[in-house]
Structure 1
């Protein structure tokens, strides 16, 4: 099992193919396996790097409750160093989209391109709507402590329109580590990345499913306005995570962006 050590914890990773490096950061608790369709497509002309984030799957636990985003972003930087890659295109979905932005803010010199999928960039409670959303996600974080069977039923119900996503996510939550999942959910709720993204010059792609969670479309539109070089694409009949719900459409969008010179 390929692992490297970062910050005192083993981090599981895989590399596939050769070429320009592409790092894929999974949705919360979903693990590296959620990217199988992207690995198959992009390993033809990229070195695709996937991993289990700290606190997920085959990787080690999260240390404490603080600086969780820093820990995971630094794990990615150490992984690139371990693989002798100076820079990479970095793509993250949902939780992974937040971590991708955090990595870009913390290690901007290592980002060639940034892809943010079904995520958000600025959740400061600057309006009533955002304050209510923030309160709801903090309150909802406790759902990570539900029994695995209950979480699996919830995934199958929420994703019944997308059977492949339903199957994968229902199985993934049976392996969820409740405390680590709670730590990551709390860690990503309050963020503000547009200042750091505007200070850099790498290309940015935003992707969002049109059937995603409440406020997802609003958050992604806010990213496009706050960071004008962001190109935003909405994917019909898709939920978060779009790479699982509409893999072929997502792969086509990502390929166009990666090949755009």
Structure 2
């Protein structure tokens, strides 16, 4: 395969993904990064038996097996697009952590310049009064607005940079758009978005191609085919440390 390019790989297989009948799409249970690693492991079987596959397994398309790494990249790209529509929990937590740090920095500076009469104390007090993660997001937006509104009066009189003000506005706005109150009614189910549907289609293409590769591995290596062609979601188990195992040696008789 040439140098990996996720977007090009995605474009190459997009029509095939769209052509899948809806009834054939598998539930999405894929870790695309793990799948990439396992596909790389699997490819040794294909390369080792590349000359023999057309003779021994004529119904299996050798070209589709050789293209598996590229299809895995395409699936990774489809998953990235889908993730942008529905942020993951780790993404939300990272944004909340950044918002907390920015709020502390901007609010501390805002309190100092309010004490010097450069901005209205009431505006700063209103921002400082709130609690909770959603309020943290709104505070970032409000603090950015405060610094921008009074930029001329406070220029050079606080340590906050323009980049930090912009970042506070951006992360606060993102969180306001993506956080849902705990007591909010659930979003109505309207089925998967187009990006999620395409992700599922790419994952189905990958699962099908990988299954054909496992047939090849089983044919040529009946005893250890699962090790040579691990499942897309296979994880390597760490061996237990000998220090953590109980000693079973019997004490000598006294």
Range class of TM-score, shorter chain: under 0.3
Question: Larger helix proportion, structure 1 or 2?
Answer: 2
Question: Larger strand proportion, structure 1 or 2?
Answer: 1
Structure with higher Rg: it is 2
- Specify which structure has the bigger relative contact order, considering alpha-carbon pairs within 8 angstroms and separated by 6 or more residues: 2
Q: TM-score, normalised by structure 2?
A: 0.21
Q: TM-score, normalised by structure 1?
A: 0.20
